[in-house]
Structure 1
Amino acid sequence: MQLKQLANISAALAAASCALLGQQAQAGTVLDDWQFNSAILLYNETDRVSAGEAILTARGDFGDDKFLNLGLVVDALTGASATGAVAQPYVQSFTRPSGRGSYDVAPGVIPLDDTFHDTRVQLDASWEQSLAPNWRVSGGGHLSKEYDYLSMGLNGSLARDFNQKNTTVSLGLGYSHDTISPEGGIAAPFAPMLLRPDFADDNSYQAAFDTTRDRADDTKDTLDVLFGLTQVINRDWLMQFNYSLSMADGYMTDPFKLVSVVNANGEVQQNLYENRPDQRTKHSLYWQNKLHVRGSYLDASYRYMWDDWELTSHTADVKWRLPMGDSWYVEPQFRYYQQSAAEFYQPFMLQAEPLPQYVSADYRIGKMNTYTVGAKFGTKLAQGNELSFRIALYQQTPENDGITAPGVLAEVELYEKVTAVMAQLSYSF
Structure 2
Amino acid sequence: MKATLEALARVLGFGGMAAGTAHAVDLPPDHAEAMLHVYDGGGVRAAGPAVLIRKSLFNKVSLSATYYVDAVSNASIDVVTTASKYSETRQQLDLGIDYAVRDSLIHVSASSGKEPDYIAQTFGVDVSQEVFGGMTTVNLGFTEGHDAVGRKGEEGYFDHATHWQYRLGVTQILTPRWLASANFEALADEGFLGSPYRAARVFGAFVPEDVPRTRSGRAIKFRTLGDISDWFRGGSWGAGQRHSMHAEYRYFWDNWGIKAHTLEGGYSRYFGDKWLADSWLRFNRQSAALFYSDNAQVETLYITRNRQLGTFNSWSLGGRATYEYAKVPGRYDIKLSGSLEYVRFDYQDFTDFRTGKPYAFNGALLQLYLTANF
Confirm whether residue 69 of structure 1 aligns to residue 64 of structure 2: yes
Indicate the residue corresponding to 2:88 in structure 1.
118
Q: Give the C-alpha shift of residue 112 in structure 1.
A: 5.8
Partner of 1:364, secondary structure, is: helix
Gaps of 5+ in 2: 1-28, 230-241, 328-332
Partner of 1:255: 196
Q: What does residue range 5-84 of structure 1 map to in structure 2 within 5 Å?
A: 34-46=30-42, 48-83=43-78
Identity of aligned residues (%): 21
Structure 2 residue aligned with 1:177: 146
Alignment of 1:3-402 (within 5 A): 34-46=30-42, 48-83=43-78, 111=81, 113-131=83-101, 133-183=102-152, 217-262=158-203, 268=204, 270-294=205-229, 295-350=242-297, 353=298, 355-383=299-327, 384-400=333-349
What displacement does 1:114 show? 4.3
| SS, match of residue 342 in structure 1 | coil
184 and 273 in structure 1: CA distance in 2 versus 1, 3 angstrom threshold: farther
Rg larger in structure: 1
The DSSP-based 3-state class of the residue aligned with 1:137 is strand
Instruction: Work out whether residues 49 and 69 of structure 2, in 8 Å CA contact, stay in contact via their aligned partners in 1.
Output: yes
Stretch of structure 1 that moved more, 50-59 or 169-178: 50-59
Tell me the secondary structure at the aligned position of residue 133 of structure 2: coil
Letter of the 2:37 partner, please give it: L
Amino acid at match of 1:62: L
Amino acid aligned to 1:38: A
User: Does the CA-based 8 Å contact 2:82-2:199 persist in structure 1?
Assistant: no
Q: Which has the higher strand share?
A: 2
Q: How many residues align?
A: 326
Per-residue deviation at 1:83?
Answer: 2.5
Residue 399 of structure 1, CA deviation: 0.7
Q: Equivalents in 1 of 2:60, 2:196: separation in Å? A: 46
- Relative distance call for 1:216 and 1:75 in structure 2 (3 A) is closer
How far apart in 1 are the matches of 2:223 and 2:58? 30
Provide the TM-score with structure 1 as the length reference. 0.72
Question: Could you tell me whether the CA contact under 8 Å between 2:91 and 2:114 is conserved in 1?
Answer: yes
TM-score of the aligned structures, taking structure 2 as reference length:
0.82
Gaps of 5+ in 1: 1-32, 85-104, 106-110, 187-214, 263-267
Which string of whole-angstrom CA distances, capped at 9 and with x for unpartnered residues, describes residues 46-95 of structure 1?
5x1111031211211113331112111111110302328xxxxxxxxxxx
Relative distance call for 1:169 and 1:387 in structure 2 (3 A) is: same
Structure 1 Cα separation of the partners of residues 153 and 86 of structure 2: 15
Q: Deviations over 1:266-308 (max 9, x none)?
A: xx4x311100010010100011112111021212211110000
Q: Distance in 2 between matches of 1:238 and 1:65?
A: 26
CA distance in 2, matches of 1:42, 1:283: 31
